[in-house]
Structures are given as structure tokens and as C-alpha cells.
Chain A
């Protein structure tokens, strides 16, 4: 048990003892002093009535002499008793209540309650350190997929926000410093069902500390870290952090992909959309001409590197070059919010603009000013704060980069459908033509909403019917599996994206490919296709209908009757 409980109990001793002693003295006096009943007989108050009288005397200063009017001797005693019992009562009750409301005590109580909740977790969960914008988006995404999460944050307000959030699963939250190993352990780092840790705090050092603690205390779980300095990233990678996500680099890479291969980047976009997101249109960042980058911070540098590597002409505008360092290419000192600076940067002949400072108001101002000077700009906006969404949408930039969303999306894919992460990695080696074809196939399947991406494992547990069918020596193709179990003449709206077999990945497997046990297939398509395919995978009758077209009798009696008919 926590020390604090013993301390609180120990401190309760004095007030409780004084209360007991004063009560018993007051009661004893009342019992011993003789009184008189209405007939004038000598009468002694009994202990029961004395206790009753003292109880209400000390809390209300008495409201009557019971059961008979007191004699002067009794009244004298009551006068004394009133003073000392009332004072002691206030002192004791006050002290005990103050002890119970003691902040450290209350914190210890909540901490214990939380630790108990965690130890009772019976489904696998992810430990999310830091409930800022990223943490919020990630927890929402995870719970939408019925995955569990535990949150730890250093600020009480943010943990309280978690309780107000309307999430599908219960997410225990704990206010504590994730840099302390004790807090991480309390939050379930050592729990056998803890699948991974995501360090998403806004401090690189804290994330590093969380990563190293997790790797040391529970080596076989996944550790995912957010970092925005290359130095820290290398440090994290050195001790085996599984995934390090740098939002600025991630976006810069995305931008570079979009310049080279718009379809490829759109494909990545679509596959990583959330459940209820709408499909977005492809963006075509100009691949020739002058780009103006406002702000040469972490984001500016990442974009600058990629654009220069693409062979584009780049001008950088930065207000504090002493702090950020100077780029190789032409460089102008200024904030970029004024027309002068932008004109100096040749905004009139520029094709693209990156508003990449760490201030949303400045970024918006840069875009508004630049558009007045040159209305055909391709505009990339860095959004820093999620709650600026309405104004950001109003300015209608071609690409918006919100670090928290990028990280949350990445981690969601990593944790939700690990195969999808592999798919996106492999797709990067394909050409744009290939991606464009796939995009058109996907858009034929789903109308407006994002396609659902899911993984099917041909194991005894996940696809019982198929496994037992294959085990009996039969063969089954992917195309047959994609038949609608309600009407075998139609196909389910889905595409097999990738097949994993014997440590080998096959992109876009053919539909006549034979399924084997222990295969993993990544599908994408409409949500209802996933649900119906599940039916085929698990239910032998559904599978039988798909293969033969006849509905087999289901119950024992029907099967018997059917047999008799046949014979």
C-alpha cells in the first residue's frame, strides 16, 4: 500500500483520540451529576441518554434538556461541556475532513484506482503518452477500430478532456509524468497485454526517455515515437525504437511524391483515410518553376531539401535567419506577411508558395498577401493548431499540413493494419501509371467515402470455414472468396491489394490465385464487403453456397430428411 495512506491514518489519530476522550468525559459528567424528575425525586441520567445528549450538544450546542429539565449542577457541567466538546468537535471533524481532501491523498487514491483499472484490463491495449492534438486524434482512430488505449499525460486538464470525449471504448486516463518509469509501469507498460507504446509528447527529450524506458522494461513491444530533430531520431533508432515519425519529413516526402507521381500520392492518401472521411481529389503541385518558402524552421528545411532535390528553383523567406540558419539558395530576410518581402522573392513569377512558419495567423496572412500579388499560386499551408480548422478551411489552400494529423494517421495505420504499412512501402517502388490504374479501380468500387482496408488471415481462428475446406484437399481461389454470399452471381466490391505467403509479398494478386493456409491477404473496398466476406470465411454453409450454388440444410433434422430424400 502507498505510504500516504499510512500517513493519513496516522495523522487521524490525534483528532479521533481527542474526540473520543472529550465525549466520554462529557458523558461521564452527565451520568454522575444527579438530576431531579418533575416529582422531585433524585434521578441519574443513563449512559444511553448521555450519549444522545452529548452527540447533539456538540454539533448544535444543544436544543433542550432531556428527558427532564436540568438542575443547576447539571447546567454548570453542560456549560463547560458545550465549550470543550464544540471546540473539539470542530477541530476533529475539520482535521479529518481536511485530511481526506488532502491533495496528495486524493492523488494517491486516483493513482491507485487507475493502476487497478489497468491491471484488470483483459484485452490488448496501446499505451499513449501525451494527449495533445496527436494523442487525441490517435485515440479516436484506435477506438473507432475497437482497439483499446490507455492515456497518460502530464496536464490534468487534458486528462479531463479525455473523459468528456465521446469514444466508443473506455479509455483510462492518468495524469502523471511519463518520463518517470514508475508512472509508465502504473499505466501498464509491464502488462502482458500491452502491445505497444506511442510517445507523442511535444518534447523530444520526453519521447526519448519514454522510448528507452519502454525498450528496457518490456523489450518485445512496439515503440512508436514522434520526433522532429534528426539528432534525437538517430538516438532513438540506436536502441531499436520500432517506428520514428517526423511529421515534417513525412509531409515533405508526401509533397515530393505528389510532384513526381500524383496518383501514387493520392493512393497513399486514400488508403490512410479514416472511416468516415470523404475521398479527396488529386493535387498536382507544379514540378517546374519557382517556389517561395516562407519560414525556414524544421518544416521549411524539410520541404526545402525535397524541393531542391526535385531540381526546382527555390527562394526562402525567413524572419530570424540567425536562429534557423541560412539555406544555400537565394534568401530574403523578412516575415513574408508584407507585400515588399514577397515581391522581393519574385512572388509574381512563382508557381508555388509554402507558408511554413509556426504561427497560423502569419501563415494565413502570407497566403492572403501572396494571392493578391499572384492568384495562380499552388499554396501549401502549415497548420499548427487544430482548433484553427475553420479559418484554415476558408483560405482553401491546395495542401494543408497539420503535424498532429499526419502522425496520428501514420500510427493508426501502423497499429491498425500492419500489412497496409508494408503495402504503402512497396507501392513507393511502383510507377505512377500503375498507381493511376489502381486509383481508377478503387474509385469504381466506392462512391464518395474512403475505402476500407482490411487484412484477412487464413488461419483456423480467423477463417474457419475456408481452412477446413482447404484442409480436406480442395482448392479455392481468391476470386471465389470475393463472391457475394447473398447472391453468388455478383462480386463483392473489393480488390485484393497484396498477398503475403512464405515471407514474400505479392502485389495485386490475380483472382484465380489458389488460397493456402497461413496466407495473409490485404483487401480494400466498401465496408459492407468486409462484413460479408467475413461471413464466407467463417460459415461453412455460406462458403458452400458460393461454391455450389445450393443452400445446404442447416439443422440436424433437415439434414436427416434430406438424406432420406436422396436415398
Chain B
């Protein structure tokens, strides 16, 4: 058992599960999407991205790319949140909530790809 692989797999899957937790619920209902969950998703995604630094394999490169995509989407979602709540002080309207959640949905898609790649790599290994 390679502890590096364990940590790696753990964070990738955790990024997906947390992302799913934030995404699930009515799209435009602020009560269904908590800000702490978004915070956790961003932190775990950042960790997962950094863990992929310096991986020489082709798989590692693709995983880094998908993680970066997820991170980009999540940053965009967080930015929309901050602008809506603190900068314009319009509060979480259904419109902004919908765009935040759909952005996180995009991130989730990238995370799904990451997990699929991880599974493929594991299956190919056959050990």
C-alpha cells in the first residue's frame, strides 16, 4: 500500500463528495446550500490540486488539469457569493444562488472526471 496514493485518492473523492453535498438541493433556494460547505469544497479542492503537483505521468497531468478546472469554477462561485452579499449588498437572491450552485455543478463535473480517471488508473494497475 502506497500512503501517497491513499492520501491522493482520499482527497480526490472527498472533493467530489463535498462538492455533491453543496450542489444537491433546490437550485435557487439559499436554504439548501450552506456557505460552510462551499468553504470546505474549496479547501479540499485546493489540497487535491497541490497534491498533483510534480506528477510526471500522463494521468497526473490530466488529473491536475481537471482539478484546476474545478478550482476555477469554485473560485468563480465564491466570487459571485462575495460580490452578491458584501459588495452589492443585494443579498442571496434566487438568481445569484442559481448561478453559484450551477458554477459549483460545473466544478462537480470536473471532480467526477477526476474520480473516473482515478478509477481507470486503479483498474489498469491490476495488482
Contact = CB atoms under 8 A, between A and B. Distances in A.
A6 B47 contact: no
A16 B46 CA distance: 9
A67 to B, nearest CB: 10
A48 interface: yes
Given A21-B47, A46-B85, A48-B82, A16 B39 contact: no
Contacts of B55: 6, 10
Main secondary structure of the interface of B (DSSP, over half): helix
A448 B35 CA distance: 86
Contacts of A31: 36, 39
Interface string A3-23: 000111111110011001100
Contact of B54 (A7, A21, A27, A28): A7
Contacts of B120: none
A562 B46 CA distance: 80
A131 to B, nearest CB: 35
A24 B36 CA distance: 11
A13 B54 contact: yes
B51 to A, nearest CB: 6
B35 A46 contact: yes
A6 B64 CA distance: 13
Given A46-B85, A48-B85, A11 B50 contact: no
B43 A24 contact: yes
Interface string B37-57: 001000100110011011110
A378 B51 CA distance: 77
A12 B53 contact: yes
Nearest to A7: B54
B53 A10 contact: yes
B39 A47 contact: yes
Given A47-B35, A48-B85, A20 B54 contact: no
B66 to A, nearest CB: 17
B86 A48 contact: yes
B5 to A, nearest CB: 14
Main secondary structure of the interface of A (DSSP, over half): helix
Contacts of B46: 20
Contacts of B53: 9-10, 12-13, 16
Contacts of A47: 35-36, 39
A20 B86 CA distance: 24
A11 B54 contact: yes
A17 B47 contact: yes
Interface residues of B, number: 16
B39 A10 contact: no
Nearest to A48: B82
Nearest to A17: B50
Nearest to B46: A20
Contacts of A17: 47, 50-51
Given A6-B56, A48-B82, A48-B86, A13 B51 contact: yes
A6 B46 CA distance: 19
A48 B87 CA distance: 11
A240 B118 CA distance: 56
Nearest to B38: A47
Interface string B43-83: 10011001101111000000000000000000000000110
A384 to B, nearest CB: 51
B54 A12 contact: yes
A20 B43 contact: yes
B89 to A, nearest CB: 12
Nearest to B79: A48
Given A47-B35, A48-B82, A8 B54 contact: yes
A47 B42 CA distance: 12
B85 A20 contact: no
Contacts of A16: 50, 53
Contacts of A46: 35, 85-86
Nearest to B43: A24
A20 B50 CA distance: 9
A165 to B, nearest CB: 39
A12 B46 CA distance: 13
Nearest to B45: A20
Contacts of B86: 46, 48-49
Interface in A317-335: none
A526 B111 CA distance: 74
Contacts of B51: 13, 17
Interface of B: 35-36, 39, 43, 46-47, 50-51, 53-56, 81-82, 85-86
Given A12-B54, A20-B50, A28-B39, 11 more contacts: A6-B55, A10-B55, A13-B53, A16-B50, A16-B53, A17-B47, A17-B50, A21-B47, A24-B43, A31-B36, A46-B35
18 contacts: A6-B56, A7-B54, A8-B54, A10-B54, A10-B55, A13-B54, A16-B53, A17-B51, A20-B50, A21-B47, A27-B39, A28-B39, A31-B36, A46-B86, A48-B82, A48-B85, A48-B86, A49-B86
